[in-house]
Amino acid sequence: MGIKTLSDLTLQNKRVLLRCDLNVPIKDGVITDDGRIVASLRTVKKLLDTDCSIIVVAHLGRPKGEPSKELSLAPIAKRLGELLNKEVEFSGEITGLIARAHSLKAGQILMLENIRFISAETSKDEQERLLLAKELSTYADVYVGDGFGAVHRKHASVYELAKLLPHAAGNLISSEVGVLEKLTVNPERPYGVVLGGAKVSDKIGVISNLLNKVNVIAIGGGMVFTFLAAQNKQIGKSLVEIDLIPTVKDLLNRAEKLGVKLILPTDIVVAKEFSASSQPTIVAADEIPNDQMGLDIGPQSAEYFAKEIIKCKTVFWNGPMGVFEFPEFAHGTKIVAQSLTQVRGISVVGGGDSAAAVRKLGFEDKQFGYISTGGGASLEYLEGKELPGLVALS
């Protein structure tokens, strides 16, 4: 699908409505990972070079249409200003701002409050979304979509709004789509995918779609226990989605028939409770005691995963191997992240928790081929789904 890019728009002295994804983790009012704000800088700077004014629309968390102090974009406007070394004005309002938007001079930036404070943004009712989009469209001359982490959502500021104004994708979305095309159209081989995270239900579609495309799939994280259960292994108190065991059995059979190497851990780090202070023990993957739960892949498995990843020319990784937030259960994720930095080809870290994990574990963005800003969006793209936000920009 061809999406329009910034070079397709006339931006000189225009008012640009820029949809960003600034959904960053904030704890007690402090931003703990500004990766997504940094990722939006290229587009913002490019727009400023054209002497336009910018109205930034973004979301934070899931406020479900209710304003909340914890989910205000005020600290994000401040951080964006610091990174740009210029003032970013902030409006606590979202609607009724036509006069303020039209009074912006070239080079000025106004960030609106969290768009999801308005229930119409995420409404299932197309007319409600369209009304909000129409209001926002009066603020600007052109629309630039750059919030990759939200392109899989049919939301007013992502889908309807793009259709109401001359539009294009910002640099971030263009880069993300370029990288995802490398993963789906003639990828260099061997092609390996590493999937983790808590739930197998989040990844079933991706595994199913990628089985025809990849050479190796390694599975870790909480989702692995549904795979082990499907092989009739003892998983103790570990997380499991029992209703998906038949589906997982089918995937295991398909992988075998297609000659895809599907790797599961042979050892697991277990503990009695889901807690940072829990005492870890290493056990064989088929001998998890009844009173224990798996919280990470074991060291032997981590080394084996790493060995297989390093052989690949194309690698996509989404989802941690264990509870990386607890130091005792972060080893598997760290070893996998380390191996991605040694890939002699393209290594892509697929947004969300994986991006947070590599930064928390002390890696730098530049050590990887690409760190995506969109977990869910990347996965849905790799599932072969149509993403509304990209359709609207094409």
Q: Which residue out of 145, 147, 376, 389 is catalytically annotated?
A: 376
**Quick one: CA dihedral 103, 107, 113, 119, positive or negative?**
positive
Q: Report yes or no on 328 lying in a domain.
A: yes
- What integer pLDDT is reported at residue 332 of this predicted model? 97
Q: Report yes or no on 43 lying in a domain.
A: yes
The answer to whether 21 is a known ligand-binding residue is yes
Q: Report yes or no on 111 lying in a domain.
A: yes
Q: Which residue out of 199, 261, 311, 313 is catalytically annotated?
A: 199
| Contact between residue 314 and residue 345 where contact means Cβ atoms under 8 Å apart | yes
CA torsion, points 264, 269, 272, 273, in degrees to nearest 10? -90
How many whole angstroms separate alpha carbon 39 and alpha carbon 146?
A: 10
Q: For the segment 373-394, what is each residue's pLDDT rounded down to a tens digit?
A: 888 899 899 888 999 999 999 8
The answer to whether 203 is a known ligand-binding residue is yes
Q: Report yes or no on 394 lying in a domain.
A: no
Q: Report yes or no on 179 lying in a domain.
A: no
Reported as a pLDDT band with limits 50, 70 and 90, residue 28 is confident
Interacting residues of 113 by C-beta distance below 8 A, sequence separation 6+:
67, 72, 73, 74, 90, 91, 92, 93, 94
- For residues 296 and 196, membership in a common domain is answered with yes
Residue 174: CB atoms within 10 Å: 21
The helix (run of H) or strand (run of E) holding residue 193 is: strand 191-195
- For residues 21 and 147, membership in a common domain is answered with yes
| Contact between residue 246 and residue 204 where contact means Cβ atoms under 8 Å apart | no
Q: For the segment 116-151, what is each residue's pLDDT rounded down to a tens digit?
A: 999 999 999 999 999 999 999 999 999 999 999 999
Residue 133: CB atoms within 10 Å: 23
Q: Is the pLDDT of residue 351 over 90?
A: no
Reported as a pLDDT band with limits 50, 70 and 90, residue 1 is low
Q: Report yes or no on 387 lying in a domain.
A: no
- For residues 151 and 14, membership in a common domain is answered with yes
Single out the residue of 228, 226, 222, 219 nearest to residue 325, CA to CA.
222
Q: Is the pLDDT of residue 171 over 70?
A: yes
Reported as a pLDDT band with limits 50, 70 and 90, residue 349 is very high
Q: For the segment 272-285, what is each residue's pLDDT rounded down to a tens digit?
A: 999 999 999 999 99
The answer to whether 15 is a known ligand-binding residue is no
Q: For the segment 54-73, what is each residue's pLDDT rounded down to a tens digit?
A: 999 999 999 999 999 999 99
How many whole angstroms separate alpha carbon 23 and alpha carbon 359?
A: 16
Domain span at 152 = 6-174
Q: Report yes or no on 389 lying in a domain.
A: no
- For residues 126 and 241, membership in a common domain is answered with no
Q: For the segment 302-348, what is each residue's pLDDT rounded down to a tens digit?
A: 999 999 999 999 999 999 999 999 999 999 999 999 999 999 999 99
Query: DSSP of 214-231, one letter per residue?
Result: -SEEEE-STTHHHHHHHT
- For residues 170 and 193, membership in a common domain is answered with no
The answer to whether 243 is a known ligand-binding residue is no
> At 89, which CATH number?
3.40.50.1260
- For residues 345 and 212, membership in a common domain is answered with yes
The answer to whether 60 is a known ligand-binding residue is yes
Q: Which residue out of 352, 369, 374, 375 is catalytically annotated?
A: 352
Q: Is the pLDDT of residue 37 over 90?
A: yes
Q: Report yes or no on 135 lying in a domain.
A: yes
- For residues 367 and 253, membership in a common domain is answered with yes
The answer to whether 254 is a known ligand-binding residue is no
- For residues 341 and 244, membership in a common domain is answered with yes
- What integer pLDDT is reported at residue 27 of this predicted model? 87
Interacting residues of 162 by C-beta distance below 8 A, sequence separation 6+:
19, 143, 145, 389, 392, 393
How many whole angstroms separate alpha carbon 81 and alpha carbon 39?
A: 14
- For residues 154 and 287, membership in a common domain is answered with no
The answer to whether 100 is a known ligand-binding residue is no
- Catalytic, 376? Answer yes
| Contact between residue 2 and residue 178 where contact means Cβ atoms under 8 Å apart | no
| Pairing of β 53-57 and β 142-145 | unpaired
- Counting residues of the chain whose pLDDT is more than 70, the rounded percentage is 100
Q: For the segment 180-201, what is each residue's pLDDT rounded down to a tens digit?
A: 999 988 899 999 999 999 888 9
Listed residues 135, 152, 174: the one ending a domain: 174
- For residues 93 and 227, membership in a common domain is answered with no
- What integer pLDDT is reported at residue 239 of this predicted model? 93
Q: Is the pLDDT of residue 29 over 90?
A: no
Q: Counting Cβ atoms within 10 Å, is residue 206 exposed (0-12), middle (13-18) or buried (19+)?
A: buried
DSSP 385: P
The answer to whether 359 is a known ligand-binding residue is no
Listed residues 150, 174, 198: the one ending a domain: 174
| Pairing of β 142-145 and β 15-19 | parallel
Q: Is the pLDDT of residue 352 over 80?
A: no
- What integer pLDDT is reported at residue 2 of this predicted model? 82
Q: Which residue out of 14, 15, 19, 36 is catalytically annotated?
A: 36
- What integer pLDDT is reported at residue 374 of this predicted model? 85
The answer to whether 62 is a known ligand-binding residue is yes
- Catalytic, 36? Answer yes
The answer to whether 353 is a known ligand-binding residue is yes
The answer to whether 236 is a known ligand-binding residue is no
Q: Is the pLDDT of residue 114 over 70?
A: yes
- Catalytic, 352? Answer yes
- For residues 169 and 190, membership in a common domain is answered with no
Domains in the chain: how many in total?
A: 2
Listed residues 151, 174, 197: the one ending a domain: 174
- For residues 44 and 162, membership in a common domain is answered with yes
